[in-house]
Amino acid sequence: MTTISEYRLFNEFRKIRNKGWIKSLRKGSTGIGYTLETLLKIPENSFAIPDFCEIEIKAMRILSKKRIHLFNAEPDGDFLFPHERILEKIGYPSKKNKNYKVFLSAAYGNEYIKLGYSRKIKVSVNRSQKKLEFLAKDKYGNDIDLNVSWSFELLQSKLENKINEMAIIRTDNKYICEEEYFYYRWIEFYKNKGFETFLDLLDKGIIKVCFKIGVYYNGVKEGKIDNHGTDFSIKEKDIEKLFTKIDIFNKVDSSLD
């Protein structure tokens, strides 16, 4: 059954589409989302809640191959300071300043990924202990004692509270005098298939876990960890493996072309 929030968002989208080409309100890759959120009167935030009532909104350039960000989730198991643990065990010298360690890497559930020449990493769904584990091995194939993990409780909460319902707004873009313009062309609505499906896709390596643990290089925080979040994402082509498309709006929206 279609919800009131979906109808509200669909009607707001039609108003924006009828405006035609709209100049980006911000330069760079984030301009597409920021401009749309401004038009929808959604305040910019990084909270773990959906953008529009119960619906998370993703604006995507039609020809973009960018992955779809699902949510950020920091490890919550085993150690109180997991980022320090990761840097200590498998961090590597920063290119900007080799006195400091960073960790910028992706991990998958279906295979170990090489980390430099001597180590490799992956994530593993441990159903018996109800947690997603972050694993690492040294150059000899021995386990590195990370003890970093996410509880199923945390991941399920993120999935159901942040990305239970989603709308993807497909967008044309063009440049005029080096300024980017957007035409928000059509909208698609989705509902996630549940936590077990999410775990299965982690297991198969379809959902990627990406770490972005940096460091401050100057100022009063120099040497302190600058963590940009641990990102869970999926390729656009795999979106219907995690979500069910709601067809009613896609049929209605086709009349706008």
> Tens place of pLDDT for every residue, the chain, 257 residues?
668 888 889 999 999 999 999 999 999 888 999 999 999 988 766 555 567 888 999 999 887 778 999 999 999 987 788 999 999 999 999 999 999 999 999 999 999 999 988 899 999 999 999 999 999 999 999 999 999 999 999 999 999 999 999 999 999 999 999 999 999 999 999 999 999 999 999 999 999 999 999 999 999 999 999 999 999 999 999 999 999 998 755 544 544 44
What is the rounded CA–CA span in Å between residue 135 and residue 36?
39
Share in percent of the chain as helix, strand, coil (round to 5): 25, 40, 35
CA within 13 Å, CB half, 57: 30
Are 224 and 164 in contact, with CB atoms under 8 Å apart?
no
pLDDT of residue 49: 59
CATH code of the region 72-155+206-229:
3.30.70.3570
Please give the structure tokens belonging to residue 187.
Answer: 């909208």
Fold of 4-62+162-191+240-256: PvuII Endonuclease; Chain A (3.40.210)
Specify the pLDDT at position 257: 45
Tokens coding 206 = 């379809």
- pLDDT at 251 (0 to 100): 44
The pLDDT assigned to 32 comes to 93
Question: Does residue 184 contact residue 72 with C-beta atoms inside 8 Å?
Answer: no
Instruction: State residue 17's pLDDT score.
Output: 95
pLDDT at 144: 96
Instruction: Give me the residue spans of the domains in the chain.
Output: 4-62+162-191+240-256, 72-155+206-229
Number of H-type helices and E-type strands within the chain: 7, 14
Cβ 147 vs Cβ 171: under 8 Å: no
